[in-house]
Amino acid sequence: MKEEDLKSVIMTIAGRPFPVKVDYDESFYVKDLEQEINAKIMDYQKTYPTRDKLDCVIMTLLSYTFDLRKGPTSVEQEEVTQKLQTIIEVLNDTDFN
């Protein structure tokens, strides 16, 4: 895919904004994905109140990774792969120091 076919969208994950380049099809579910990831992070924060936010983000990443490894159907695998890729991009763009 060519760079000019992508557009930059801001996703806010765990309260932090991240620019993510998406194609036309992906742009339709960016906000849903953002809400789903943040909901999962918040669930971990409620379940493990002594953990910091980064721990909850990592637990979210791990849960998506485990879901991917369990051998989902091809449609589910595609969804999990996209979610995992988005989380990885967010983590790559983040300075946790």
Kindly state whether residue 97 falls inside one of the protein's structural domains: no
- Is 22 a member of any domain? yes
By residue range, what is the domain housing residue 45?
3-92
Give me 14's structure tokens: 């765990």
* pLDDT tens figures, 51-78: 999 999 999 999 988 887 876 566 777 8
pLDDT given for residue 24 in this prediction:
83
Residue 19 lies in a domain: yes
- The answer to whether residue 62 is domain-embedded is yes
Higher per-residue confidence, 81 vs 74? 81
Question: What's the domain count of the chain?
Answer: 1
- Higher-confidence position of 63 and 5: 63
Whole-number Cα distances in Å, 16 to 5, 25, 67 = 25, 24, 25
